[in-house]
Amino acid sequence: MIISVAWEPAGDGKRVISLADNHILLWDLQESSSQAVLASSASLEGKGQLKFTTGRWSPHHNCTQVATANDTAVRGWDTRTMSQIYCIESAHGQLVRDLDFNPNKQYYLASCGDDCRVKFWDTRNVTEPIKTLEEHSHWVWSVRYNHSHDQLVLTGSSDSRVILSNMVSISSEPFGHLVDDDDLSDQEERRPEEKSQEPPQDSVIATYEEHEDSVYAVDWSSADPWLFASLSYDGRLVINRVPRALKYHILL
């Protein structure tokens, strides 16, 4: 059974990864316009019936890395050799549901699962997560980084809630938007106490409770970086926007 299909995130879009049971398959669409050619493959090996639950293709490293999840483990694969490059054996206490790569910061990966947690990893050192969120009260089904402003992270859960978090400390702009004193007019001159402001802190920006059933998917608009959608089991699709105050804080 095919679990997941992912197009190469950059380039000419001629390569596709599919996950089927315990197999990861790399398909090449260049050789024929009518059918895909299996370029290479690999399999999960170990005790029991190992099966992939999800996968994500990294937009970094010339698109040569893919992350997959099976049971409580997260694994990284090199698509050039289809060999395993890292493994987080117990990434979560229960089943891993979803993965997403930071689009602006290579090596950074988010995962979520049935232990109600969202974890952030540096794939160069997977001994411990660099951050953990514990805001949901049931399984977390979906996690997504904002494509433009990677401090904005969306999560959806079986607790029927969508949470928008500001993970600024591990983003590509950990100190926020910096403004030189020279750029300020006399009216905007900072008071002494403002000049020693601490960097922005990680926080929950908003919790959205428009759904009445489990939220299985969240995603950002590809056209508007401030717009996002969530989908629940009962078929309800909800569109929301990042709060205006936060939007202008990020931009200005």
**Residue 133 · residue 155 · CB < 8 Å:** yes
Ranges 48-52, 162-166, 191-195, 240-244: which has the least confidence: 191-195
Side-chain half-sphere exposure of 190, counting CA atoms within 13 A: 12
Domain residue ranges of the chain, discontinuous segments joined by +: 91-173+198-251
Q: Taking all residues of the chain, what is their mean pLDDT, rounded to a whole number?
A: 89
Give, in degrees to the nearest 5, the angle at Cα 218 between 154 and 78: 80
pLDDT value at residue 185: 41
Does residue 70 register a pLDDT over 50?
Answer: yes
pLDDT tens digits for range 86-145: 999 999 999 999 999 999 999 999 999 999 999 999 999 999 999 999 999 999 999 999
| 71-91: b (≥16 Cβ within 10 Å) or e | bbbbbbbebeebeeebebeeb
Tally Cβ neighbours within 10 Å of residue 225: 16
**Residue 54 · residue 66 · CB < 8 Å:** no
| Number of continuous H segments (helices) and E segments (strands) in the chain | 2, 19
Q: What is the assigned CATH class of domain 91-173+198-251?
A: mainly beta
pLDDT value at residue 32: 65
DSSP per residue, 124-175: TB-SS-SEEE---SS-EEEEEE-SS-TTEEEEEETTS-EEEEE-GGGSS-TT
pLDDT value at residue 19: 96
Ranges 42-51, 75-84, 88-97, 205-214: which has the least confidence: 42-51
Q: Residues with Cβ < 8 Å from 34, sequence gap 6 or more?
A: none
pLDDT value at residue 35: 82
What is the helix (H) or strand (E) element at residue 248, kind and residue range?
helix 244-251
